[in-house]
């Protein structure tokens, strides 16, 4: 397969297969049901399995089970479905099992709506489930990037033995763009014999592996959490990713925006440049770990007067931007979260409003 | 084959083949040729990227757009307005049905049999060879079989809609026509239209195909791009 025209949802399904994952458990929900639709047709062609669970809670534990057995496994859902899965995600993180979760976000809270949103930023980056765990969170801004991030997610999940989340919005799932699947991103699964319950006979072992999340001894539970913490620290050092835009000029406003929202901001930045106003952008590609240093350094540029976080939510990322900027510049927010994506004109208006102050 | 001698044209095809973009542009072209056009959004499957996004431009052109009631526009509910049957019963001019994807989307046509009565819609299937499953003649025919079974109507002809959104080249068009020609050979059903992005129109050689071209001015664009003027 060379270049092909795909919906984000289809590309996510195909990317998982290309990455060597042929176990997919899911429960349908708009706007990501095309992943299941696509994989229901495609997985049998490659000897894979798609099982629809009876609920998202069930799906999260099917993922846990398959992962504990050493299999590559993933699921896709949308906001309310991810809420239901959050219990299982906490268990999977606690048990240090690799798995990939894709959230194609829709408007919330509650049932909300079915149009694009970025309202699950807190849920993805600050918890969602209980306890001290983190997800490695990747935020694609195009169908191509969604495919590549899904392919990379499996090896990242195995590298850290931790769930990885792809945080896309409804638009990423539904829009069509040309996409190619880079073969070099498909990595062979790592050896999991030292922890997975993958059969003693298979690994020629006398010792059974145990995958568990219960630590009744307080010292052991503390030690376990310190192990997890060290892992998250290592992610902060090794996995930060971001894309700068128009940062080489003397800009007055720095936009921070992720996902499809950042593409609207790009158009706004181009249009403002044509009108003689310079605005730059840092687009976080990882939301955890957050590109703190990049945002801080870009905000510190002498010409920069203000930082604007543009999101399809009510400002959930602002505190991460503020934490990064450390008070050097004022941090403002612009966004919407009903499902209508802010237009380039609206973003331009927000920027002009800041500059007029 | 002159598809325009039919009163009711149903644009069918697999998911993402470009049915809505074809239907919207075809409606505009026919209206500009002086025909009374009714465009019916019959996609009951997916609420994203649909006819409704172009409704203001279409209405300005004098095209009657039949949509689900306003309050259900953003619901993933299969809302079938009674106005659909009404539009199909009307005589004169052209009723264009923008049908949902694959067999699942085409099933509604069978359910509307009472409305079209003795004037069945003419089904034309949109083919983009760069979409999954319709990269081959066999794949296109599998989709065709599912649509025909669900709609209980035959596919009368093909629309070649080879594109990569705004990255389409002349070579892509050539590839699309070649695949659909092979499909014509295999099915004995004609190629009725070839879509051409407006910006490539002048560059298309006259001998590339021998049916009408449908210039495409993109309407269903993501929020960071502007729709072209119909």
Q: Domains in chain A, ordered, with CATH?
A: 4-238 (3.40.50.970), 242-355 (3.40.50.920)
Tens of pLDDT along chain A (357 residues)? Answer: 689 999 999 999 999 999 999 999 999 999 999 999 999 999 999 999 999 999 999 999 999 999 999 999 999 999 999 999 999 999 999 999 999 999 999 999 999 999 999 999 999 999 899 999 999 999 999 999 999 999 999 999 999 999 999 999 999 999 999 999 999 999 998 999 999 999 999 899 999 999 999 999 999 999 999 999 999 999 999 999 999 999 999 999 999 999 999 999 999 999 999 999 999 999 999 999 999 999 999 999 999 999 999 999 999 999 999 999 999 999 999 999 888 899 999 999 999 999 998
Which of B131, B167, B224 lies at the smallest CB-CB distance from A266?
B224
Q: Model confidence over B47-105: pLDDT tens digits?
A: 778 877 888 899 999 999 998 887 877 777 788 888 888 888 888 899 999 999 999 99
What is the reported pLDDT for B191? 97
Q: Does B46 touch chain A (CB under 8 A)?
A: yes
In a domain, residue B30? The reply is: yes
What is the reported pLDDT for A208? 95
The residue in chain A having the minimum alpha-carbon distance to the alpha carbon of residue B168 is A178
End-to-end Cα distance, chain B: 26
For residue A349, what are the contacts with CB-CB under 8 A and spacing of at least 6?
none
In a domain, residue B72? The reply is: yes
End-to-end Cα distance, chain A: 53
Three-state DSSP at B193 gives strand
In a domain, residue B221? The reply is: no
What CATH number should be reported for the domain holding residue B134? 3.40.50.300
What is the reported pLDDT for A1? 60
Rounded CA-CA distance B55/B173 in Å is 28
- Cβ atoms of B39 and B66 within 8 Å: the answer is yes
Closest chain A C-alpha to B132 CA, distance in angstroms: 7
Q: Write out the DSSP string of A27-72.
A: ---TTSHHHHHHHHHHGGGGT-EEEE-SSHHHHHHHHHHHHHTT--
Decide if A178 and B164 are in contact by the 8 Å CB cutoff.
Answer: yes
Among B75, B167, B223, most A C-beta atoms within 10 A, so best to mutate, is B223
- Cβ atoms of A19 and A70 within 8 Å: the answer is no
> Is it true that the peptide bond before A289 is cis, omega within 30 degrees of 0?
yes
Decide if A177 and B223 are in contact by the 8 Å CB cutoff.
Answer: no
Q: Which residues share a beta bridge with A288?
A: A137
ipTM, interface predicted TM-score of the complex: 0.92
Q: Does B175 touch chain A (CB under 8 A)?
A: no
Closest chain B C-alpha to A344 CA, distance in angstroms: 6
Angle between helices A344-355 and A259-274 (to 10 degrees): 60
Kindly list the residues of chain A whose beta carbon comes within 8 Å of any beta carbon in chain B: 3-7, 10, 14, 30-31, 34, 37-38, 41, 113-115, 170-171, 174-178, 260, 263-264, 266-267, 339, 341-344
Closest chain B C-alpha to A273 CA, distance in angstroms: 16
In a domain, residue B225? The reply is: no
- Cβ atoms of B217 and B230 within 8 Å: the answer is yes
Report CA-CA distances (Å) from B158 to A232, B97, B109, B124, B128.
54, 15, 18, 6, 10
How many helices (H) and strands (E) would you count in chain A?
Answer: 13, 14
Decide if B164 and A114 are in contact by the 8 Å CB cutoff.
Answer: no
In a domain, residue B121? The reply is: yes
Rounded CA-CA distance B40/B101 in Å is 15
With contacts defined as CB-CB under 8 Å, which chain B residues touch A176? 16, 165
Which of B76, B222, B223 lies at the smallest CB-CB distance from A114?
B76
- Cβ atoms of A75 and A85 within 8 Å: the answer is yes
- Cβ atoms of A327 and A298 within 8 Å: the answer is no
- Cβ atoms of B64 and B100 within 8 Å: the answer is no
Q: Regarding predicted confidence, which is higher, B199 or B49?
A: B199
With contacts defined as CB-CB under 8 Å, which chain B residues touch A34? 15
pLDDT value at B136 more than 80: yes
**Alpha carbons within 13 A on the beta-carbon side of B49:** 26
- Cβ atoms of B94 and B7 within 8 Å: the answer is yes
Decide if A5 and B163 are in contact by the 8 Å CB cutoff.
Answer: yes
The residue in chain A having the minimum alpha-carbon distance to the alpha carbon of residue B166 is A177
Alpha helices in chain B (DSSP H): 19-32, 55-60, 82-89, 102-111, 113-116, 137-151, 170-187
Q: Write out the DSSP string of A171-226.
A: HHHH-EEEE---GGG--PPPP-TTT--S-HHHHT-SS---------SHHHHHHHHH
With contacts defined as CB-CB under 8 Å, which chain A residues touch B222? 171, 175, 260, 263
Rounded CA-CA distance A28/A30 in Å is 7
Q: What stretch of H or E contains A17?
A: helix A8-18
Q: Which residues share a beta bridge with A335?
A: A311
Decide if B132 and A14 are in contact by the 8 Å CB cutoff.
Answer: yes
In a domain, residue B126? The reply is: yes
What is the reported pLDDT for B52? 79
With contacts defined as CB-CB under 8 Å, which chain B residues touch A4? 130-132, 135
The residue range of the domain holding B67 is 3-216
Say how many domains are in chain B.
1
In a domain, residue B223? The reply is: no
Q: What stretch of H or E contains A236?
A: helix A218-238
With contacts defined as CB-CB under 8 Å, which chain B residues touch A342? 223
Three-state DSSP at A109 gives coil
Q: Write out the DSSP string of A194-207.
A: TT--S-HHHHT-SS
For residue B135, what are the contacts with CB-CB under 8 A and spacing of at least 6?
A4, B129, B179
Closest chain A C-alpha to B230 CA, distance in angstroms: 21
What is the reported pLDDT for B90? 87
Q: How many CB pairs under 8 A join A and B?
A: 68
- Cβ atoms of A69 and A203 within 8 Å: the answer is no
- Cβ atoms of A115 and A106 within 8 Å: the answer is yes
In a domain, residue B45? The reply is: yes
The residue in chain B having the minimum alpha-carbon distance to the alpha carbon of residue A342 is B223
Rounded CA-CA distance A49/A72 in Å is 12
With contacts defined as CB-CB under 8 Å, which chain A residues touch B224? 260, 263-264, 266-267, 344
With contacts defined as CB-CB under 8 Å, which chain A residues touch B15? 7, 34, 37
With contacts defined as CB-CB under 8 Å, which chain A residues touch B218? none
Q: Write out the DSSP string of B59-89.
A: HHTT-EEE-S-GGGTT--S----HHHHHHHH
The residue in chain B having the minimum alpha-carbon distance to the alpha carbon of residue A178 is B164
Which of B74, B131, B132 lies at the smallest CB-CB distance from A115?
B74
């Amino acid at each position: 397969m060379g270049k092909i025209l795909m919906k984000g949802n289809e590309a996510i399904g195909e990317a998982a297969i290309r990455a060597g994952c042929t176990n997919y458990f899911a429960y349908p929900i708009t706007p990501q049901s095309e992943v299941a639709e696509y994989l229901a047709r495609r997985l049998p062609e490659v000897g894979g399995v798609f099982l629809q669970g009876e609920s998202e809670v069930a799906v999260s534990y099917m993922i846990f089970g398959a992962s504990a057995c050493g299999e590559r496994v993933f699921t896709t859902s949308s906001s309310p479905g991810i809420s239901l899965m959050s219990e299982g995600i906490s268990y999977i993180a606690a048990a240090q099992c690799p798995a990939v979760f894709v959230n194609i976000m829709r408007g919330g809270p509650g049932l909300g709506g079915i149009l694009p949103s970025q309202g699950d930023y807190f849920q993805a980056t600050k918890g969602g489930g209980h306890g001290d765990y983190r997800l490695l969170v990747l935020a694609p801004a195009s169908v191509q990037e969604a495919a590549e991030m899904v392919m990379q997610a499996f090896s990242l999940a195995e590298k850290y033995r931790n769930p990885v989340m792809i945080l896309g919005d409804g638009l990423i799932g539904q829009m069509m763009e040309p996409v190619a699947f880079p073969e070099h991103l498909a990595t062979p699964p790592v050896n999991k014999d030292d922890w997975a319950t993958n059969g003693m006979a298979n690994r020629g072992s006398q010792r059974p592996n145990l995958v568990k999340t219960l630590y009744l001894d307080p010292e052991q539970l503390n030690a376990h959490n310190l192990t997890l913490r060290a892992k998250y620290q290592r992610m902060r050092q090794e996995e930060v990713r971001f894309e700068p835009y128009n940062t080489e000029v003397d800009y007055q406003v720095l936009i921070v925006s992720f996902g499809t929202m950042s593409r609207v901001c790009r158009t706004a930045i181009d249009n403002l440049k044509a009108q003689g106003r310079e605005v730059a952008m840092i687009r976080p590609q990882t939301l955890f770990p957050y590109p703190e240093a990049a945002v801080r350094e870009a905000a510190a540029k002498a010409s920069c007067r203000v930082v604007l976080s543009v999101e399809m939510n009510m400002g959930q990322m602002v505190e991460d931007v503020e934490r990064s900027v450390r008070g050097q510049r004022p941090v403002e927010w612009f966004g919407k979260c009903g499902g209508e994506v802010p237009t380039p004109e609206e973003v331009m208006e927000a920027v002009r409003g800041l500059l007029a102050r | 084959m002159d598809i325009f001698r039919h009163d009711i044209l149903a644009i069918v095809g697999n998911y993402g083949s470009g049915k809505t973009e074809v239907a919207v542009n075809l409606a505009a072209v026919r209206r500009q040729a002086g025909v009374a056009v009714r465009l019916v959004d019959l996609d009951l499957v997916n609420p994203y990227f649909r006819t409704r996004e172009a409704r203001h431009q279409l209405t300005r052109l004098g095209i009657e757009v039949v949509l689900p009631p306003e309050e259900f526009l953003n619901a993933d509910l299969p809302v079938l307005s009674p106005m659909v049957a009404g539009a199909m019963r009307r005589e004169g001019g052209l009723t264009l049905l923008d049908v949902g994807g694959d067999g699942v989307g085409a099933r509604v046509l069978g359910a509307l049999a009472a409305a079209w009565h003795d004037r069945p819609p003419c089904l034309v299937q949109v083919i983009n060879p760069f979409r999954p499953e319709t990269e081959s003649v066999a794949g296109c025919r599998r989709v065709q079989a599912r649509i025909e079974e669900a709609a209980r109507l035959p596919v009368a002809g093909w629309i070649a809609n080879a594109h990569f959104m705004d990255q389409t080249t002349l070579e892509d068009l050539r590839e699309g026509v070649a695949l659909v020609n092979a499909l014509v050979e295999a099915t004995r059903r004609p190629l009725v239209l070839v879509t051409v992005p407006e910006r490539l129109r002048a560059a298309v050689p006259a001998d590339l195909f021998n049916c009408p071209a449908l210039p495409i001015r993109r309407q269903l664009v993501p929020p960071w791009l502007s729709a072209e003027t119909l």
